[in-house]
Amino acid sequence: MEIVDLLNKLINSERSERELGNVAAAETFAAKAQELLFKHKLTMTDLDYAAEEADEPVVGEVFSAEELLDMPPKSSKDTWLGVLLNALYKSNFCKVIRNRGNNYTVVGRLSDRNAVSMLFVYLSKAAMEMSKQAANDRALDGSRRSFITSFKLGFASAIGDRLRVTTQELKAGAQEQGLMRIDQLEKKVSDKFRDMFPHATSGRSVSAKNYSGFSAGKAYGHAVGIGGGPRLTGRTS
């Protein structure tokens, strides 16, 4: 079974368990997904790896984050989306760069790009849902918008922190052959990215305007899904 099919099966299982009220199963979704994607690379046979190289060359793909999330288009960028996308793609054998607005180019293999897109939608919906709920819980008025924006940025930052730690832990427990394969793939992606964007530079650091919102979002990002935490309902309205 293809890796994206396995991930889709995991997502469907999470939805079914959540509908049945099994909170524990829902909470472990993101942790299982990250481990699934990484260990797939580590345990591939030489034949599997050669077939993937032949069938899935490392290429660039342009996409709209707004279309993935069924959001209305706008000219300005949502910084938190870029932070979350960069964290997810970097942890899963891809590189991403923002073009303009909320449009991006991702460089990597097709199965890796598709898998990360699925994770991105899941986690983005969590951020959008919980930012509004947290604002409602605090009965905010004039600072509601800045709280929600900062919450989502804190959430994305926390996810990035946790994925970096998870990746380090998975690599530390991997066999040498698997690590060599990971290094080869990461080099191919980096080389292709440099060919496509020779003048690309690292993005500037971003700061939140509402410390309370940022802190609340970061706390939720550390709790949700990855390693256990509040379950998601999947609502985005």
Q: Alpha-carbon distance 237 to 232, whole Å?
A: 13
Residue 126 phi/psi, 5-degree rounding, is -60, -45
The pLDDT tens digits of the residues spanning 160-205 come to 887 888 888 888 888 888 888 889 899 999 999 999 999 988 766 6
Measured in whole angstroms, the distance separating CA 128 from the mean position of its chain's CA atoms is: 14
- Check: CB of residue 136 under 8 Å from CB of residue 63: no
Q: 159-162: long-range contacts at Cβ-Cβ below 8 A with a sequence spacing of 24 or more?
A: 159/84, 159/87, 159/88, 159/123, 159/221, 159/226, 160/83, 160/84, 160/86, 160/87, 161/222, 162/221, 162/222, 162/226, 162/227
Residue 196 CB: number of other CB atoms within 10 A?
14
Four-point Cα dihedral 99, 104, 110, 111, nearest 10: 150
Structure tokens at 191: 């080389």
Structure tokens at 66: 């707004």
Residue 233: pLDDT band with limits 50, 70, 90:
very low
Which residue in 218, 94, 213, 212 sits closest to 156, CA to CA? 218
The pLDDT tens digits of the residues spanning 65-88 come to 999 999 988 878 899 999 999 989
Residue 6 CB: number of other CB atoms within 10 A?
15
Q: What is the DSSP letter of 83?
A: H
Ordered by start, the domain boundaries in the chain are 3-223
Single pTM value for the model: 0.81
The pLDDT tens digits of the residues spanning 97-152 come to 999 889 999 999 998 998 889 889 888 887 888 888 889 888 777 788 899 999 99
Residue 21: pLDDT band with limits 50, 70, 90:
very low
Exposure b/e, 141-167, CB count within 10 A at least 16 = b: eeebebbbbbbbbbbbbbbbebbeebb
Give the HSE-up count for residue 220: Cα atoms under 13 Å, Cβ half-sphere: 29
Residue 22 has pLDDT above 70, yes or no: no
Res 228: pLDDT? 38
Which residues fall within 8 angstroms of residue 123, CB to CB, at 6 or more apart?
Answer: 30, 84, 88, 159, 224, 225
